[in-house]
Copies of this chain bind each other. A is one copy, B any other.
Amino acid sequence: MPKSTTKISSAWRRKIHEVIYEADTPVGKAFDVTLLIVIIISVLLVLLESVPALGAKYADEFILAEWIITVFFTIEYILRIISINKPTKYIFSFYGIIDFLSTIPLYLTFFIGGINALLAVRALRLLRVFRILKITRFIGEADKLSKAIKSSLPKILVFLFAVLVISIIMGTIMYLVEGAESGFVSIPVSIYWCIVTLTTVGFGDIAPVTPMGQFLATIIMIMGYGIIAVPTGIVSAEYTTGGKDSDDSDNGKLQIEDPNYRHVNTQVCQNCMARKHQDDAEYCHKCGYSLDV
């Protein structure tokens, strides 16, 4: 199997692959930096374009810039595909989809008819803001964070369910007590207000005016104040105990320490006697010989 793959891949494809997918070589680093800058610029453009004053004044400049960026991303996307042996694997990966969404918006506008104010098109063009997700490629530590959150997710979900139940019941009561004249026009709106209050956000666009309503609001706030402690406590425990009491106890702890290290086992390659194979290795990293007997 290694042989066959070696045949069908030419030198320049290897070169491209090295530049785009790896950051070890100077060229690879340069490419990453350029990509990072272009992503940030492209997102800033989306934001600024939405400012009425700027959007109107620099319409042409925005379109031009969008064209340049789209072309850049198009080339990147194509190179990413052709420099891999199994393109489908990349295309349907998380980043493959993000990269695709980062490229198409401008092209799609042709089929819908130019850059006009239709909601569909606006939505379409705002898709470009998701390019920000391309940056996550460069955030290694994010792994740790998301891991810590994931490990405490079940507890947090139960807690969120509790918040929801409380909001639905208290929201219904507030709707009954306050009524429409003070902004509690319907139960869904009351629930919205309840969550605004429980989470201690408190916009104040809706606020109780009756003594009874204010008394209930007080109880909701105190509850919110009390239960805000729960998710915090959960995550604190996660971090303090190094995620020890989370399901993936053994390697979970280590990846929280440093994602740049992988556990290696005592396997020895049948072919070249190489040791220190990663636990999930299927082929020897020294001679490419299959490890599963």
Binding site for B on A (CB under 8 A): 1-2, 5-6, 9, 11, 13-15, 17-18, 21-24, 43, 46-48, 50-52, 83-86, 89-90, 93, 119, 122-123, 126, 129-130, 132-133, 135-136, 139, 141-142, 144-145, 148-149, 154-156, 158-163, 165, 168-169, 172-173, 175-176, 180, 185-189, 191-192, 195-205, 207, 211, 214-215, 217-218, 221-222, 224-242, 245, 248, 251-252, 254-255, 257-258, 260-268, 270-273, 276-278, 280-290, 293
Whether B50 pairs with A188 at a CB distance below 8 angstroms is yes
Q: Which residue of B lies closest to A15 (CB)?
A: B293
Choice from B163, B239, B245, B266 contacting A233 with Cβ under 8 Å: B239
Q: Which residues on the B side are within 8 Å of A180 (C-beta)?
A: 52
> What is the CA–CA distance of A280 and B257 in the complex, to the nearest angstrom?
22
Whether B225 pairs with A199 at a CB distance below 8 angstroms is yes
Which of A18, A228, A251 counts the most chain B CB atoms within 10 A?
A: A228
Q: Which residues on the B side are within 8 Å of A251 (C-beta)?
A: 257-258
> What is the CA–CA distance of A54 and B224 in the complex, to the nearest angstrom?
31
Whether A273 pairs with B89 at a CB distance below 8 angstroms is yes
> What is the CA–CA distance of A261 and B180 in the complex, to the nearest angstrom?
49
| Also in contact, A165 and B133, with CB within 8 A (given A145-B155, A199-B221, A284-B288) | yes
Whether A270 pairs with B85 at a CB distance below 8 angstroms is yes
9 contacts between A and B (CB under 8 A): A21-B273, A84-B273, A188-B211, A192-B215, A195-B218, A200-B202, A228-B232, A280-B285, A288-B289
| Also in contact, A289 and B224, with CB within 8 A (given A201-B197, A233-B232, A261-B263) | no
Whether A225 pairs with B163 at a CB distance below 8 angstroms is yes
Whether B51 pairs with A186 at a CB distance below 8 angstroms is yes
Whether B83 pairs with A270 at a CB distance below 8 angstroms is yes
